[in-house]
Amino acid sequence: MATRTQKLARPKLNQLRFPDRRSVYWLDELPHEKIGPTTRIELTPRWSELCRSKKLYTQAARSPIWEVSEWALRAVPSKRVCSLAQPRGPAAGWKPDRPLTAPMNGGTRTIVATARICQLSQPKRRPALEDSDHKSKPVPLTNLPSKASAHIELLSTPKQDHSKFGGERSVCWPVSKAARSYVASQRLLEISTPKERKALFEGYDPYTVSRAARSASPSPRIYQLSTPLPRKCSMK
């Protein structure tokens, strides 16, 4: 029996001894040469059925009128079928459509429009844009009513200055002698001094106790909460 060393000492087989290897797998012998020009494919029964052309129906179309069977002629509809065959009625609050042209009474046909209604019925004259070619003519003020002309004249009048208006103040004005010889008080100097901005926790001592905290006396509730529970007290 060959030992492990003798097995490893044997040369490996040359797997590339087949020059025309047309498969990705190792072959023990050369593949058979092709005889035909192409590969023959065997069709399954299902493929053969799908390859057949569809049959064209050349029969004449049936008439839309067909004979009714004897059982259908003798059938008696039930109450449910009769109720479903009835047309659906309108809703409870439905009213018939109003005619487009309502009849006009004699008073409407003989009415005479007032001057105000004629004025309101005139189309508004809008000023045309600057870029438009057709520019509307300006409406003369003589054609407007008297009240409108008076209102336009009132609006076109510029506003007058107030009776107590003293005119614009000069940019430079003289400073009084009292203002020049004024001495600021200590309070003004204190207010005018800018505030000192300190960094966060700068000069802060967490161990200092305020005077109010040192003179405070606890309430009975604080005494009750600070007392330990009896079940946690050890008996000595």
Q: For 74-97, what is each residue's pLDDT tens digit?
A: 999 999 999 999 998 888 888 888
Residue type, 146: S
Query: Higher model confidence: residue 183 or residue 104?
Result: 183
Distance CA 29, CA 21 (A): 9
Quick: pLDDT tens for 104-163: 888 888 888 888 988 888 888 877 655 555 555 555 545 545 566 788 888 888 888 888
In order of 198, 200, 203, 212, the CA distances from 209 in angstroms are 22, 20, 15, 8
Q: What values do phi and psi take at 120, rounded to 5?
A: -70, -25
What does the pLDDT average to over 50-78? Answer: 83
Is-contact 149 141, C-beta < 8 A? yes
Round to whole Å and give the CA distance between 137 and 157. 24
3-state secondary structure of 231: helix
Distance CA 152, CA 139 (A): 13
What does the DSSP assignment read for 39-89? ---PPPHHHHHHHSPPPP--PPPPPS--PPPHHHHH----HHHHHHHSPPP
Number of neighbouring beta carbons within 10 Å of residue 144: 13
Per-residue confidence at 25, pLDDT binned at 50, 70, 90?
low
Confidence category of residue 188, pLDDT binned at 50, 70, 90: very high
Sign of CA dihedral 62, 67, 70, 73: positive
pLDDT of 19 reads 57
Q: Is the pLDDT of residue 13 over 90?
A: no
- Alpha carbon 52 to its chain's center: 56
